[in-house]
Amino acid sequence: MPIPPLYGHEGIRHRLVGAIASGRLPQALLFEGPPGVGKQRLALWLAQALVCEKPGNPKGLPDGRGEGETGKGEPCGECQPCRLLLNLSHPDVHWFVPLELSKKGGDADKQVELVEEALGEEMAARRQQPLYEPASGLASHGIAAVRLLLRRLALTPALARRKVFVIGDADRLVPQTGAEAAANALLKALEEPPADATFILTTAAPESLLPTILSRVVRVRVARLADSVVTAFAQHELGVTGQRELAQRVAVADGRIGRLLADGNGRARGVEAGERFRRAVEGGPARRYEFALGLQPFQARGGFTEMLDGLLEQLREQARSGGETEKVVAAISQVLAARSLAQGNVNPQLVAAVLADDLAERA
């Protein structure tokens, strides 16, 4: 099943195809903006424009513009490279997304193999269901993923004249175990990219990226979408027809199509539980231990992981708002470590108590 068409962002699209036509498109770009505004879909659209054989002759667009109104250089959507990309099968377009590996490898080569396998499975799942939910709180870009990227970077393009690397949620390079190694390895590729390679990074938290990475990319701000665009997506791609439901979902989305796809109930529960946990951390030792003992002492993968994901969302929002970044990044790292422990046979009460103490020390 092909991925859905790109909705909105006409101004950015016009500037990007103009840069392609004039030969001025930077080799490394960073699409930054709120979660769910379509940064990765826009990145895939740009990759499609770079490999398209008949740019400037697209089929009708979902935002209501006809062929005569499209910008010169927009991908046609009909040639073989376009069809391959829309089915996530183009051999020269490499989409790296954060992964939560179920297996652990031994040596470095085995770890790269596991990442390649997991990434292939994820792409296969997205071909079956292209409307995907956000990555879990534990998913990340590890050093093995960057090593896989560097291996593919060294290959000669198989079909197009260039290779395109889309790195979704690039902020997931940090913080994590081995984060510095992963980010620095990527940095080396960005410093001197091959002439036939283009990098497109996306993030909702640019402050979480290494300053040296930010200095080597051209930053492109991707803004929220108009309600009319979100409405069109909900109607055409999700089949929402009831006016009341449509209005409610568009209002909750707040200009972010991705919010239409997320599990709203699980996310809301997680955010609420994460906020209760933060209040307990601030309330002193007694409140912290009372909260921890109130959790179920088993089944850490359920409500406990929802709570940690909600807490991660709040911390990342705090990082985006420009607070005490160093402390917030350290707190995110601690929550990610707790989230990793929650994947095993652990007692959520114990993990929550230790995490609460660690966060209180850094408050």
Contacts 24+ apart (CB under 8 A), 64-68: 64/232, 65/10
CB 96 within 8 A of CB 58: no
Predicted confidence band of residue 316 (pLDDT cuts 50, 70, 90): confident
Highest mean pLDDT among 67-71, 241-245, 343-347 belongs to 241-245
* pTM flag (> 0.85): no
Average the pLDDT over 259-264 and give the result.
Answer: 70
- Bridge partners (DSSP) of residue 106 are none
Greater confidence (330 vs 16) lies with 16
Report residue 115: phi and psi, to 5°. Answer: -65, -45
Question: What is the SS3 string spanning 299-342?
Answer: CCCCHHHHHHHHHHHHHHHHHHCCCCHHHHHHHHHHHHHHHHHC
Evaluate whether 3 touches 47 at the Cβ level (below 8 Å): no
Per-residue pLDDT tens for 159-185?
999 999 999 999 887 544 445 666 677
Question: Could you give the CA distance from residue 148 to residue 112 in angstroms, rounded to a whole number?
Answer: 6
Whether 126 shows a pLDDT value over 90: the answer reads yes
Which pLDDT band, with edges at 50, 70 and 90, does 85 fall under? Answer: very high
Binned at pLDDT 50, 70 and 90, residue 207 comes out as confident
pLDDT of 304: 80
Pick the residue with more confidence: 334 or 43?
43
pLDDT band (50, 70, 90) for residue 302: low
Give me the pLDDT at residue 137, please: 67
Q: What does the pLDDT read at residue 65?
A: 44
Query: Contact at 8 Å (CB) between 1 and 130?
Result: yes
The CA-atom distances, in angstroms, between 239 and each of 83, 134, 243, 314 are 24, 20, 12, 31
**pLDDT confidence of residue 80:** 96
Q: How confident is the model at residue 70 (pLDDT cuts 50, 70, 90)?
A: very low
Q: pLDDT at position 59, please? A: 56
Question: Given this model, what pLDDT does residue 212 score?
Answer: 86
273/311 Cα distance (integer angstroms): 8
Asked if residue 328 has pLDDT above 50, the reply is: yes
- Read off the pLDDT of each residue in 283-300 and give the average, rounded to a whole number: 80
65 or 74, greater pLDDT: 74
Length of the chain: 363
- Sheet order of strands, 28-32 included: 93-96, 163-167, 197-203, 28-32, 218-221
Q: How far apart are CA 77 and CA 49, in angstroms?
A: 9
Give which of 170, 208, 169 is closest to 189, Cα–Cα: 170
* Per-residue confidence (pLDDT) for residue 270, from 0 to 100: 75
**Residue 40 CB: number of other CB atoms within 10 A?**
19
pLDDT at 77 over 60: yes
Mapping DSSP onto H, E and C, the string for 248-295 reads HHHHHHCCCCHHHHCCHHHHHHHHHHHHHHHHHHHCCHHHHHHHHHCC
Tokens of 25: 């498109």
Sequence-distant (≥ 6) Cβ neighbours of residue 103 within 8 angstroms: 114
116/296: higher pLDDT: 116
Cα–Cα distance, 167 to 183 (Å, whole number): 12
Lowest mean pLDDT among 61-75, 77-91, 160-174: 61-75
Question: Looking at the domain that runs over 10-223, which CATH code has it been given?
Answer: 3.40.50.300
- What are the residue ranges of helices labelled H in 52-107? 80-86
4-13 residue pLDDT tens: 999 999 999 9
Tokens of 51: 């490999």
Q: Are 142 and 336 in contact (CB under 8 A)?
A: no
pLDDT for the residue 132: 81
Residue 67's pLDDT band (cuts 50, 70, 90): very low
Give the pLDDT score at 73: 72
Tell me the two tokens of residue 10.
Answer: 């006409």
What is the structure's pLDDT at 219?
Answer: 97
Tell me how far apart the alpha carbons of residues 63 and 69 are, in angstroms, rounded to a whole number. 11
